[in-house]
């Protein structure tokens, strides 16, 4: 599957901060995702990291000056600016922000920004006093007014030894920003509630009943929906995954808590996706003290948890909303079971997950799913990364919304 970044022309500006070395990873990741990255460095940036580093990572010529040899027939700045789908500047120093805020064009990078007519994404990195200085803040306000995107830097220990705001943000957050600018905003205006992960059903203070779900599929759905413009509320069972940026997260533990969380959230939702692996049963009684072992076998009662999706499907019969997407975790009779659940739970779409195949199902980074929509149309998808899988599921949801 072609990724959003494949073939995109990204003009990647680097200005003179020690954080310039971190831009090497960003350029490598963008190139790995098949973006065509052209790096432009300010003179100060070349003192921190060599242009050769970026030429090797991007596989393309690196530009540093306005009047370089071999610039071609076109004026370099005009041709590079005209071709780009996106301009990214990381790190953007206080000096670069000041220049751009005042429309300076005294080096190649600032000239290119002026000559471009695509979106410009600025990732500032500097000492916290410099960042918080009223002059820098006034420049940022001006840049926002001009329509530039300025991403607030991270907090933490800075290269100068100070602690505070000013760190170049992590690549994963930057990646989301870049992708959300390139993505079609076809989920804009939609409020989407997604459940994810397993549930933990306590037996005693030490033990619990759970399942193998990692939350990866639900989190990928949340990340991609946010990227495509939705407001996303993620109701998550216990998961080790970092929540996606700009997603509202409600942490729950048990099936009953997830039930409560979903019932509280679904009313504001246009779309609900139950990707969580809710435990069908919970211990009838949670022991207050740890149960001690003995040589005898023990028996304990399991009582059913509420079927959250079924309850939402029943509610939908009256209100005819929200659009409801369920998952089916299957090890046999996948399609027949998927169809049954689609009908019984009154869904618009069911995602049938093969949980015993190779590289698919619980805990893996890839997934093999089939989709059946409310008209019983079946789409069998190939083995995809969970993020690609999420893209395909949202493509289908967008069609159902029409
Ligand atoms: N689900 C739910 N509440 C439950 C159990 C499941 O909301 N107590 C949801 C899941 O999030 C999923 C769908 O129902 O979207 C189907 O879950 P699955 O485990 O595949 O099927 P079950 O309905 O639990 O039936 P079975 O376990 O017998 O296959």
Tally of domains in the chain: 2
Ligand 1 centre and the CA of 378: distance in Å? 20
Question: What average pLDDT does the segment 37-50 reach?
Answer: 97
C-alpha 73: how far from its chain's center? Answer: 41
Smallest CA-to-CA distance from 263 within 231, 309, 232 is with 309
Is the four-CA dihedral 341, 347, 348, 353 of positive or negative sign?
negative
Using one digit for the tens of pLDDT, what is the confidence trace for 154-205? 999 888 888 899 999 999 999 999 999 999 999 999 999 999 999 999 999 9
What was the pLDDT predicted at 203?
A: 96
What was the pLDDT predicted at 70?
A: 59
Domain membership of residue 309 (yes or no) is yes
Ligand 1 lined by 266 (C-beta under 6 Å): no
Q: What are phi and psi of 30, to 5 degrees?
A: -65, -45
Ligand 1 lined by 307 (C-beta under 6 Å): yes
Q: Is 118 a catalytic residue?
A: no
Whichever domain contains 143, its CATH number is 3.40.50.1950
* Alpha carbons 309 and 342: distance in angstroms, whole number: 10
Domain membership of residue 28 (yes or no) is yes
For residues 247 and 316, state if they share a domain: yes
Please report, for the chain, how many H helices and E strands are present, in that order: 14, 21
For residues 232 and 338, state if they share a domain: yes
Sorted by sequence, the CB contacts under 8 Å of residue 252 that are 6+ apart come out as 199, 235, 236, 237, 258, 260, 261
For residues 137 and 209, state if they share a domain: no
Considering the chain, what is the average pLDDT of its residues? 95
For residues 328 and 397, state if they share a domain: yes
Q: Where does a domain end: 137, 156, 182?
A: 182
| Of 118, 132, 160, 389, catalytic | 160
pLDDT at 76 over 70: no
Domain boundaries, position 138: 9-182
pLDDT at 69 over 70: no
Can you tell me which atom of ligand 1 is nearest the CA of 306? 8
Question: What average pLDDT does the segment 299-321 reach?
Answer: 96
Using one digit for the tens of pLDDT, what is the confidence trace for 78-133? 788 888 999 999 999 999 999 999 999 999 999 999 999 999 999 999 999 999 99
Q: Where does a domain end: 182, 215, 234?
A: 182
Whichever domain contains 204, its CATH number is 3.40.50.10300
Q: Where does a domain end: 138, 156, 182?
A: 182
For residues 202 and 162, state if they share a domain: no
For residues 224 and 119, state if they share a domain: no
pLDDT at 263 over 70: yes
What was the pLDDT predicted at 161?
A: 83
Question: What average pLDDT does the segment 337-360 reach?
Answer: 94
Domain membership of residue 285 (yes or no) is no
For residues 55 and 142, state if they share a domain: yes
| Residue 14, strand partner residues | 41
Domain membership of residue 291 (yes or no) is no
Burial of 295 (0-12, 13-18, 19+ CB in 10 A): exposed
For residues 85 and 229, state if they share a domain: no
Question: What average pLDDT does the segment 217-233 reach?
Answer: 98
For residues 393 and 272, state if they share a domain: yes
Domain membership of residue 150 (yes or no) is yes
For residues 178 and 197, state if they share a domain: no
Pocket test for ligand 1, best of 261, 275, 316, 329 (most atoms within 8 A of CB): 329
Question: What confidence category does residue 257 fall into, taking pLDDT thresholds of 50, 70 and 90?
Answer: very high
**H-type helices in 171-307, by residue range?**
171-182, 216-227, 255-265
pLDDT at 290 over 60: yes
What was the pLDDT predicted at 31?
A: 98
Domain membership of residue 1 (yes or no) is no
Helix (H, G, I), strand (E, B) or coil at 342: helix
* Alpha carbons 187 and 330: distance in angstroms, whole number: 29
* Alpha carbons 389 and 387: distance in angstroms, whole number: 5
Domain membership of residue 286 (yes or no) is no
Can you tell me which atom of ligand 1 is nearest the CA of 304? 8
Ligand 1 centre and the CA of 334: distance in Å? 13
Question: What average pLDDT does the segment 51-67 reach?
Answer: 93
For residues 210 and 177, state if they share a domain: no
Domain membership of residue 287 (yes or no) is no
Ligand 1 centre and the CA of 308: distance in Å? 8
For residues 144 and 78, state if they share a domain: yes
């Amino acid at each position: 599957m072609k990724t959003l970044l494949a073939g995109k022309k990204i003009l990647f500006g680097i200005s003179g901060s020690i954080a310039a070395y971190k831009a090497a990873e960003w350029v490598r990741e963008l190139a790995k995702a098949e973006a065509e990255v052209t790096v432009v460095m300010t003179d100060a940036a070349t003192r921190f990291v060599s242009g050769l580093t970026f030429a090797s990572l991007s596989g393309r010529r690196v530009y540093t000056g306005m009047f370089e040899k071999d610039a071609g027939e076109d004026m370099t700045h005009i041709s590079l600016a005209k071709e780009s789908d996106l301009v990214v500047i990381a790190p953007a120093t206080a000096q670069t922000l000041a220049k751009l805020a005042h429309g300076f064009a005294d080096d190649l990078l600032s000239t290119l920004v002026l000559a471009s007519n695509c979106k410009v994404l600025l990732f500032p990195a500097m000492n916290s006093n410099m960042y918080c200085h009223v002059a820098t803040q006034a420049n940022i306000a001006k840049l926002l007014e001009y329509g530039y995107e300025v991403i607030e830097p991270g907090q933490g220990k800075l290269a100068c030894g100070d602690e505070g705001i000013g760190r170049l943000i992590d690549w994963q957050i930057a990646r989301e920003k870049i992708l959300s600018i390139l993505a079609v905003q076809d989920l804009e205006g939609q409020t989407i509630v997604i459940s994810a992960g397993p549930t933990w059903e306590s037996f005693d203070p030490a033990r619990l009943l759970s399942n193998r779900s990692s939350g990866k599929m639900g989190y990928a759905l949340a990340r991609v929906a946010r990227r495509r413009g939705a407001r996303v509320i993620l109701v998550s069972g216990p998961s080790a995954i970092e929540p996606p940026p700009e997603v509202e997260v409600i942490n729950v533990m048990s099936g009953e808590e997830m039930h409560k969380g979903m019932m509280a959230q679904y009313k504001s939702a246009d779309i609900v996706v139950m990707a969580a692996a809710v435990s069908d049963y919970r211990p009838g009684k949670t022991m207050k003290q740890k149960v001690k072992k003995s040589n005898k076998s023990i028996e304990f009662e399991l009582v059913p948890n509420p079927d959250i999706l079924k309850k939402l499907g029943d509610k939908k019969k009256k209100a005819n909303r929200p659009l409801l997407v369920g998952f089916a975790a299957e090890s046999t009779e996948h399609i027949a079971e998927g169809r049954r659940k689609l009908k019984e739970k009154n869904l618009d779409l069911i995602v049938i997950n093969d949980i015993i195949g190779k590289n698919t199902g619980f805990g893996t980074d890839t997934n093999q799913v089939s989709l059946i929509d409310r008209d019983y149309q079946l789409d069998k998808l190939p083995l995809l990364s969970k993020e690609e899988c999420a893209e395909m599921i949202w493509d289908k949801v967008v069609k159902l919304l029409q």
